[in-house]
């Protein structure tokens, strides 16, 4: 450890309180940090997929309603034409 900085140089400046200067301890700390970040990433990924699925359903519903709306507009135009209202 560097006497001046208080950081362990072997584990790329992890705080001294987390590391005793032993390379195995440093690696263990790094692997724990990576695992924690991967779990957090998985949580965000799951949330993204939930939101994406919700948005996909909303988009499909919107497209279906838009198509139905076009069909209704066509029917209204045909009825107006048949009744000579236009």
* pLDDT per position as a tens digit, 32-81: 888 999 999 999 999 998 888 888 888 889 999 999 999 999 999 888 88
Q: Which residue has the higher pLDDT, 70 or 86?
A: 70
Q: How far apart are alpha carbons 47 and 58 in whole angstroms?
A: 17
Say if pTM beats, i.e. exceeds, 0.75: no
Instruction: Tell me the pLDDT band of 4, cut-offs 50, 70 and 90.
Output: very low
- Using CB atoms within 10 Å of the CB of residue 16, give its burial: 0 to 12 exposed, 13 to 18 middle, 19+ buried: middle
pLDDT, average across residues 12-25: 58
Instruction: Tell me the pLDDT band of 9, cut-offs 50, 70 and 90.
Output: low
Token reading at 8: 């362990």
Do residues 1 and 7 lie in contact, with contact meaning Cβ atoms separated by under 8 Å? Answer: yes
Q: How far apart are the first and last CA of the chain?
A: 88
Strand partners, 8: 14
Domain boundaries along the sequence of the chain:
7-82
């Amino acid at each position: 450890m560097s006497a001046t900085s208080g950081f362990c140089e072997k584990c790329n400046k992890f705080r001294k309180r987390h590391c005793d200067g032993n390379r195995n301890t440093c690696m263990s700390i790094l692997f724990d940090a990576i695992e924690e970040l991967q779990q957090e990433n998985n949580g965000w990924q799951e949330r993204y997929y939930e939101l994406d699925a919700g948005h996909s359903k909303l988009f499909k519903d919107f497209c279906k309603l838009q198509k139905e709306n076009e069909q209704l507009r066509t029917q209204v135009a045909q009825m107006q034409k048949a009744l000579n209202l236009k």
